[in-house]
Every structure is written in C-alpha cells, then in structure tokens.
Amino acid sequence: MPKSDLDRQIHLNIEENVPLAPFTSFRVGGPARFLIGVRTLRELQEALRFAERMKLPFCILGGGSNLLVSDAGFPGVVIRLLMNRVTRSGGMVQVQAGFDLTALVHRTVGWGLSGLESLAGIPGTVGGAVRGNAGAYGGAMADVLATVSALDAGTLQPLTLRRDQCAFAYRDSRFKREPGLIVVGALLALTPGDRGEIGSKVAETLAKREAKQLSCDRSAGSFFMNPMVDDAVLIRRFEEDQGVRCRECRIPAGWLIDQAGLRSLKVGGAAVSHRHANYLVNTGAATAAEVVELARLVKKEVQVKLGVVLKEEVSPVGLVI
Ligand SMILES: Cc1cc2nc3c(=O)[nH]c(=O)nc-3n(C[C@H](O)[C@H](O)[C@H](O)COP(=O)(O)OP(=O)(O)OC[C@H]3O[C@@H](n4cnc5c(N)ncnc54)[C@H](O)[C@@H]3O)c2cc1C
C-alpha cells in the first residue's frame, strides 16, 4: 500500500438515499441507501467496514455502463471506485480500477503502446472491464493482463492474481463469479509500436463502432451475451445471411433477436433498439421492471422461435433477472 494512503486519515464521504439512475448509462433505477466514493485502497477497506458495521450488503459501482438497477434501488452500500492513477514502465502499464477504459486506450496511443486498440470506445472503467472481460472485434481485456490487484472483501486483504488465476473466459472471470473479490488495479503487458499505426487502429475501431451506432445512450450496451449455438442449420443461416464465419460457434444475440422479429419491440418506455437489436434502450422514462419484462419477452421469443437460450450480460443491482 502506498505510504501516502497509510498516512492519510480516513474520512469517508457517505451520502444517503442517492438516486443511482444518473450513475448508470441506462438512466434507470432507484436510490442507494448509502453511496460512498473511494479514492484509495484504505478508503475502500473503510467503506467495506462501514457496510459490515451497518450489517448491509455492498455493491461495487464502476462507470455504470453495464448495470440495471432495480426501481427500488439498492438497500445497502454502493461503493463507487474512483481511484484512477496510471503509471508506465516500458511496455508495462499499472492502472487503478477507476480509470476510464477509453481514456486508457488514448493514453497508450500517446505512449506508443499496442494491445488495447480493439477496446477503444467501450464505456466504463478498467475494473469493470477486467471483471466482465470486456471486449470487441476479437480482442478482450484479459488478452493484455499480466496480473490483477484485488481486495478480498471478506478479509480486507489485498492480493495479486496472475492472469491464469483469474478464470477469464468470454465476458466472464473469477471476479464475476466471486463478487467478494474487488478489482482494484491491473498490470497490463503492452507491446511498444509505432504511435501513428496504433492511433490509426484506434481510429478504425471507433469508426466501426460509430458506423454501427454502438454509442447510443440510455442502454447498457449488449444486454445479452452472444450464445454458443450447436444447431448447424442456424449457424449456416447466420453465415449465409452475414457473409462471415461463425466464431467459436457464437452467434451474435442481436442477429438472433432480429431473426425472431423483435426489433423495436416495446414494453412501456423500454424498447429493443431499432439500430442494434441486442441493445435494450430506455426511450425516456423506462422503469427497471419494464426493462426486465422486455428482456423476459425477448428471451422467450428467441427460445420459442430459434431454440436458443439467451443469457444476460448486463449486471443486475437489487434485482434478479
Ligand atoms: C453504449 C455501450 C457500448 C458497450 N459496448 C461494449 C463492448 O463493445 N464490449 C463490452 O464488453 N462491453 C460493452 N459495453 C458494456 C460495458 O461498457 C462493459 O461491460 C464495461 O466493462 C463495464 O464497466 P463499468 O466500469 O461501467 O462497470 P459497471 O457497469 O459499473 O459494473 C458492472 C458490474 O461490474 C462490477 N464491477 C465494476 N467495477 C468492479 C471492480 N473494480 N471490481 C469488481 N467488480 C466490479 C459491478 O459491481 C457490476 O456488477 C457497452 C456499454 C454501453 C453502454
């Protein structure tokens, strides 16, 4: 732990009954009983002690770009990770969990370091991206991770995990399965390269996202994960329709939702985006209950019409989906 953290007297800024919707890209959901923004490991430990003393559950908030918060909110302590230091030594980049992922991509372009280009434009923090192994265009966060620094919420002990100890898989990790392990930082192993070339790749990624309108707001991005499909007829139909080979037998959930005829389906203020069928969007004043009902309908229809079971990528807070 840095000495400056030890020396500092811990004074938490604890806010009560704070609406969570503004902290999420969906702009949906009720209040947190308590909200605490933490800037150091010690503050995080103190926030966890506070939750323990109050006998309340806790939940970690990063950039809020993959969350669906219940209309009733969260009856516990929401801890917002704000630690955002980044340092570089050669190709190794040490970054804290609260650092914005896209800002990190741009920072590494400036340093002439390659490895994060395909992640440009993914909203949220480094911590959220590690936990969900965020990715796009064939790349994912885990590809560049050397180690992950975490805090065990049970013992309050920090630990460092090698990449092979983190059980990374498609949009999955040990941190997702063990919510008591909080990601506080990451050491990335990047490759020195030509700044201009790296910058061009980042620009290409951003242009591809822009063309697909992947930045539309009031959503949590892809609501469902791309499922593994073993139906050879469906795979062939997808490949012929899209003119691409199916990667690892995963078919984009958006294509399946589209094929099921659900583009623009609505429940109250929640709708399947007409631009990207795997984006469920809040058209204005959607409630979480409406989003959940829309997701349920989408899953049911895709299963009935195409025989595929969709699984949520989005993280629920204060509700079960
Ligand atoms: C327009 C749009 C486009 C998107 N495009 C993509 C894409 O191309 N690829 C992709 O993979 N995702 C995409 N997403 C989803 C989202 O950006 C990612 O899942 C992102 O990594 C979430 O990070 P976050 O900091 O916002 O996490 P949050 O939404 O704050 O949290 C998500 C979950 O992670 C947990 N969490 C957050 N930080 C930590 C931490 N430090 N330690 C432990 N748990 C933590 C939270 O408790 C919660 O369960 C998109 C979202 C939007 C809105």
pLDDT tens, position by position, 130-180:
999 999 999 999 999 999 999 999 999 999 999 999 999 999 999 999 999
**Residues with Cβ within 8 Å of residue 142, at least 6 apart in sequence:** 130, 133, 163, 166, 168, 173
- Residue 321's pLDDT is 80
Of 27, 40, 65, 141, the residue with max ligand 1 atoms within 8 A of its CB, to mutate for a pocket test, comes to 65
220 token code pair: 């949590």
- Residue 87's pLDDT is 98
Q: Nearest-CA neighbor of 153 among 182, 126, 127?
A: 182
9: pLDDT confidence band, cut at 50, 70 and 90?
low
Q: If you measure from the C-alpha of residue 96 to the centroid of ligand 1, how many angstroms do you get, rounded to a whole number?
A: 15
- Residue 249's pLDDT is 81
The neighbour count for residue 258, using CB atoms within 10 Å, is 16
Q: Are 218 and 25 in contact (CB under 8 A)?
A: yes
Q: If you measure from the C-alpha of residue 129 to the centroid of ligand 1, how many angstroms do you get, rounded to a whole number?
A: 6
Of 39, 67, 122, 280, the residue with max ligand 1 atoms within 8 A of its CB, to mutate for a pocket test, comes to 122
CA distances from 258 to 179, 290, 291, 304 (A): 33, 20, 18, 14
- Measured CA to CA, the distance from residue 10 to residue 13 in angstroms comes to 10
Q: Ligand 1 — pocket residues by CB below 6 A?
A: 25, 59-67, 81, 97, 122-125, 127-129, 131-132, 134-136, 175, 182-183, 214-215, 219-221, 315
211: pLDDT confidence band, cut at 50, 70 and 90?
confident
Q: Which amino acid is at 108?
A: T
- Residue 96's pLDDT is 98
- Residue 54's pLDDT is 97
**Percent with pLDDT over 70 in the chain:** 97
Q: Are 202 and 108 in contact (CB under 8 A)?
A: no
Q: What is the largest CA-CA distance in the chain?
A: 64
158 token code pair: 């920090």
**Percent with pLDDT over 90 in the chain:** 91
- Residue 7's pLDDT is 46
Q: Are 213 and 275 in contact (CB under 8 A)?
A: yes
Long-range contacts at 261-266 (CB < 8 A, ≥ 24 apart): 261/301, 261/305, 262/297, 262/298, 262/301, 262/302, 265/294, 265/297, 265/298, 266/294
Q: Which atom of ligand 1 is nearest the CA belonging to 124? A: 26
Domains in the chain (CATH in brackets) are 13-81 (3.30.43.10), 86-198 (3.30.465.10), 216-317 (3.90.78.10)
Mean pLDDT of the chain: 95
For the cut 50, the answer to whether the pLDDT of residue 227 exceeds it is yes
pLDDT, mean of residues 33-48: 97
109 token code pair: 């372009």
pLDDT, mean of residues 12-29: 97
pLDDT in tens, 266-320: 999 999 999 899 999 999 999 999 999 999 999 999 999 999 999 999 999 999 8
